[in-house]
């Protein structure tokens, strides 16, 4: 127990040691973080204050926007703060907390994307049964299951991390506490633990990605018999989902599918699914979606909405 307590804090090496580069990165990530909050809050308010919230697709989009806000907030504020500091320190307890929360909200995001794919599959391949299958109870069950699966995923990694002995060195070659950099610092053989991480993160991500892509291929196969207008609407919706799935899952698979090793490229790939994708999601889901655009106009240009906010 004493050996394990030799390390009470970790030093994050971050993205760069060059001060000018760090200053530019700070400005860039500040812009990204503000864009994430602005874009996702617009989606949450526009859906919650309109009739779109009763539609399964927009219910899940609303959940995705909320999870994006929590997910990126587990990493980005600390990253921006560290970019302004010479020495980037995080305590052992905060490191374990960050590991848990990052994978918890990341896991929720993965399963919400799975729920969205299921919703689109039912809507396009079983349109006559859509209202019965995707009823309110089913939607809430899928969201609750996403939270439960995200919790199980993060708890697995968290319990693995807290039993690891750390006796020095304490420098993490990353910008946040993740499982692979921690395994690299552990004073014990982590081969078996690394295999569990592959199964819990990399393999899980790969299987879900393959299932999602297969479902979208099946959807594309079914829409070939639709009218031109219906086919265009279905393809427009699915193309948004496919874009987000690829942008999110490919970096996740790259980072977690291999044995417990860290590469310099990991930081760049991790930035994609922790910051870039949450920033792009509002654009991807609204640019080609007329219902979403109309809802944004109705809510944000509604005098009653602003009068209600001012009264509060």
Residue 3 lies in a domain: no
pLDDT attached to residue 1: 40
pLDDT attached to residue 44: 94
Residue 87 lies in a domain: yes
Q: Are 66 and 167 in contact (CB under 8 A)?
A: no
The region, left, alpha or beta by phi > 0 then psi within -120 to 50, assigned to residue 14 is: left
**pTM for this prediction:** 0.90
Phi, psi dihedral angles at 10 (to 5 degrees): -120, 150
pLDDT attached to residue 304: 60
pLDDT attached to residue 284: 87
Residue 251 lies in a domain: yes
Which residues is 89 bridged to in the sheet? 11
Phi, psi dihedral angles at 90 (to 5 degrees): -135, 135
Residue 101 lies in a domain: yes
The region, left, alpha or beta by phi > 0 then psi within -120 to 50, assigned to residue 9 is: beta
Question: pLDDT under 70 in the chain at which residues?
Answer: 1-5, 303-312
Residue 256 lies in a domain: yes
Residue 193 lies in a domain: yes
The region, left, alpha or beta by phi > 0 then psi within -120 to 50, assigned to residue 168 is: left
Q: Residues 99-118: pLDDT tens digits?
A: 999 999 999 999 999 999 99
Residue 2 lies in a domain: no
**Domain coverage including residue 254:** 9-308
Q: Looking at the 3D structure of the chain, how many domains does it have?
A: 1
pLDDT attached to residue 101: 96
Residue 1 lies in a domain: no
Q: How far apart are the first and last CA of the chain?
A: 53
pLDDT attached to residue 295: 84
Residue 44, number of CB atoms within 10 A of its CB: 20
CATH of the domain at 138: 1.20.1070.10
């Amino acid at each position: 127990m004493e050996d394990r307590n030799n390390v009470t804090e970790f030093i994050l090496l971050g993205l760069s040691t060059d001060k000018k580069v760090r200053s530019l990165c700070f400005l860039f990530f500040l812009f990204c973080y503000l864009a994430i909050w602005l874009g996702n809050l617009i989606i949450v308010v526009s859906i919650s204050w309109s009739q779109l919230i009763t539609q399964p697709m927009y219910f899940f989009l609303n959940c995705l926007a909320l999870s994006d806000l929590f997910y990126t907030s587990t990493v980005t504020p600390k990253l921006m703060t560290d970019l302004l500091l010479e020495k980037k320190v995080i305590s052992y307890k905060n490191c374990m907390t960050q590991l848990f929360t990052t994978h918890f909200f990341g896991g929720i995001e993965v399963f919400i994307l799975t729920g969205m794919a299921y919703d689109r599959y039912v809507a396009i391949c079983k349109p006559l049964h859509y209202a019965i299958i995707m009823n309110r109870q089913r939607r809430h069950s899928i969201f609750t299951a996403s939270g439960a699966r995200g919790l199980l995923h993060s708890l697995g990694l968290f319990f693995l991390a807290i039993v690891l002995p750390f006796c020095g060195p304490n420098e993490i070659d990353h910008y946040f506490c993740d499982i692979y950099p921690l395994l690299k610092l552990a004073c014990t053989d982590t081969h078996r633990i690394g295999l569990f991480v592959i199964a819990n993160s990399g393999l899980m991500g790969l299987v879900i990605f393959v299932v999602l892509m297969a479902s979208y291929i099946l959807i594309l196969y079914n829409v070939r018999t639709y009218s031109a207008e219906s086919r265009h609407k279905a393809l427009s919706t699915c193309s948004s989902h496919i874009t987000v799935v690829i942008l999110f899952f490919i970096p996740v698979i790259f980072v977690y599918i291999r044995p417990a090793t860290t590469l310099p490229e990991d930081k760049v790939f991790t930035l994609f699914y922790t910051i870039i994708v949450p920033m792009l999601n509002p654009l991807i889901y609204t640019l080609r979606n007329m219902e979403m655009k109309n809802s944004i106009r109705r809510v944000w240009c509604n005098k009653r909405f602003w009068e209600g906010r001012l009264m509060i």
